[in-house]
Each structure stands twice: as C-alpha cells, then as structure tokens.
Structure 1
C-alpha cells in the first residue's frame, strides 16, 4: 500500500481501540509535526507502522497521565520518539514548565524508556540524519533481543555493523570485522542477499558493497 493508505489504516486502527481522553488526545495531539516524522523518517525506512503507537499514554510521576508522540514497543524494548517544534509556546515557556519537561524525560528514562528527540526542523531539513539515528537505535535495541531466532549471530553482527556505519559495507570490511577469509565473508554476504537482508549497493557481476534491505524486507522491521 502507499504511505497515505497505510497511514490512514494506522490511524483508524488506533482510533477504534481508544475512547475518552486517549481518543481525544490522538485526534487533537497528532498534528503536522507528528505526520512529518512518519512521512520523512519512519516510512522510508520500514514501509509499515508495526509496533508503533501514536500519542501513547504513560503514567505521570505526579499520578497523572502524559502522552508520548510515538512509542515503539517490543518485548524488552521501549523507545519514545518525540518531535519538538520551535514556536511561540517554546520561546515563552516558563522556568517551571522547562523544569517539568526535564523531569518528564528523567522519569521516562528511570522507567527504562529510551528517549529520542528530533526537532521539527531536523525532520524537514535533515531527514536522512534522522533516519540514521532511528535505524541505529532500533538496531541497537533489537540486536540483543532473545525473542528473535531467525538470524545467526554472524548475521546480527553484520547488520549491527552496517547500521552503525550508516552507509554500504564492503566484503573486505566484513572480512576484517569477523576475522574471516575473503571467500567466507563473501559467502555470508551472498546468503544474506538471498534472505533479502542485504542488497547489492555497487557492482553487478562482482558485488563491491552491500546495503541493508529496505521496507518490509529489512530484518530490523519485523524482528
């Protein structure tokens, strides 16, 4: 499906599952900045919204409720993505409100959330950098996930290396990383291409570099 179709289905699904304040917050708090995060950052990476929750409700340290722009939740993984706009409300924020925002983030970290913050300007003007940060934090979080059984240890190490590098990798780099022969490194990379974990980045008859698969074929999307 296209982004528009998948996005509408995503919102419909969450609206149907909510009521009261949680539904009101989704309808009123999910705005242009939050949409831009999905369109410019999340969708180009994963082409789906699995495990992602908009305007996710969490308990406040003052016994109230707070809402995260997005929560990515898997077994053993809790990542909060926040999109911060720079507008009049931020310029005129009081000292108390500023301290309250810091305390809010501190409490999330204490509750074992990983917190990633992007500015609205970053999402619009530097989407690739935001994509790399998102891919790195999810890859780091899922790399040690004991619930994932379909990737070998070596494949996980290659994926983690590609994510941390942020660009395509060469057989020589994998050979050095894993202390393998050139033949064995190329065999592993070829197998990962067959599994649609990796794709050739440069070269045809003899592949010179590899990149992670995108969309639903990217193993970091579904593991």
Structure 2
C-alpha cells in the first residue's frame, strides 16, 4: 500500500472512532507539519500506522484537556510524539506559553509518558536522522530489531526481480517486467528508495538505476 492510501485509511479510521472535539480536529485534517512527519519519518521508518493515534486526548493537571500530536500506545510504554515549528513554539511564544509547555511536558512524564519532540526543520531537511531515532526507540523499547516494511504486490515483485538478477535494474526494466509505464515504474522505485529498501546504483540528482539495499534485507525479506 502506498503512503497516501494508508494515510487516508488511517485518518478515516480515527475519525470514525473519535468523538467530540477530537473528532472535529481530525475531520479538519492533520496540519502540514504532522502529515510531513508521517510521510517523511514514520512511514519510511515503520511502514504501518498500527498503535499510532493522532490528536490524542489527555487530561492535564488543571483538569483541562490537551491534545498530543501523536500517541504511540503499545505495551509496556506510552510514547508521545510532538512536532515543533520554530515560530509558534519558540520565537513567537510568550514567557507564559513557554513555561506552560514545559509544565505540560513534565506532567506527561509524571504520568509515565515517554516524550519525543521533533523540529519541523529536521523533519523537512534531515528526515533520515529522524527515521533512525524512531527505529532506535522501536528496537530498544519494543524489541523490534528490524521494523518490517509493508510492501505492495508490485513492490514485492520489484524486490524479487532484483534478488533474481543479482544486479542493478532500471525503470525501463521494471516497466517491462511489471507491464506498467516507465513513469509508474520510476514512482515505485522512488518509493522503495525513500524507505531504504533500495539504494541508488547510478546518478545523484536523478537516479538512473537501483540496487537492493544489502543492510535492509531483514526488513522486507
């Protein structure tokens, strides 16, 4: 399944199960930064949205309600992921807002939450570093030495083609093998490249051929 299809199904499921203010927020859709986190960090690193809850509702120390950007609820831990833009969370925050954010985080920790904060700029400019952090926490806290990557039937067929040929392949070869257009074959290859299933065999700005990532085989074979 491609990211967009998985994302739409993920959001729809949570809209259907939510109520009240949380449902209203979800119906409006996630913000740009939150969707970018899912697309550039979570999906390439994990490959599925199981246990992840957007706009998760928690009660704060003042008996009010707050919403976490994402909660990952999987025993034995509760993990909070917050996406921070420089403007609203730092430069434009008043002293009161700054102090309130710290108190909010402290109370989450007191309530046994593991709190992870990602800067929007890191998600946009250094997504691989963010992906590695997600994979490290999965391995350390949940015992996932390698987080399996969900592949579509066509993506699996590309992997099988590479395993069979034991060499690099081009979009034209994949196009012929799958019976699809070269443009679509390139989209499939780029998707696998983004998730580190493949690595570039030639080209820098425009990849012309692809190889199977030898370090990532346990993730998808």
For the Cα contact (< 8 Å) 1:84–1:120, is it kept in 2? Answer: yes
Structure 1 SS opposite 2:86: coil
- 2 CA distance for matches of 1:62 and 1:102? 14
Moved over 3 A (4+): 209-215
How far residue 211 of structure 1 moved from its aligned partner, in angstroms, is 4.0
- 2 CA distance for matches of 1:88 and 1:47? 30
Match of 2:114 in 1: 114
Structure 1 position 214 matched with structure 2 position 219: yes
- TM-score, normalised on structure 1? 0.64
How far residue 10 of structure 1 moved from its aligned partner, in angstroms, is 0.3
- 1 CA distance for matches of 2:29 and 2:100? 19
For the Cα contact (< 8 Å) 1:45–1:214, is it kept in 2? Answer: no
How far residue 212 of structure 1 moved from its aligned partner, in angstroms, is 6.3
- 1 CA distance for matches of 2:29 and 2:98? 20
How far residue 214 of structure 1 moved from its aligned partner, in angstroms, is 3.3
Aligned residues: 156
Gaps of 5+ in 2: 147-196, 200-213
- 1 CA distance for matches of 2:88 and 2:58? 26
Match of 2:124 in 1: 124
For the Cα contact (< 8 Å) 1:46–1:214, is it kept in 2? Answer: no
Listed as ranges, the matches of 1:79-98 within 5 Å are: 79-87=79-87, 90-98=90-98
- TM-score, normalised on structure 2? 0.65
Tell me the C-alpha RMSD between the 2 structures.
2.3
Structure 2 SS opposite 1:56: strand
**How far does the alpha carbon of each residue in 1:53-99 deviate from its partner, in whole angstroms, 9 at most, with x for none?**
00101111110111110110112111111110122574221111110
How far residue 34 of structure 1 moved from its aligned partner, in angstroms, is 0.3
Structure 2 SS opposite 1:214: helix
- 2 CA distance for matches of 1:141 and 1:114? 10
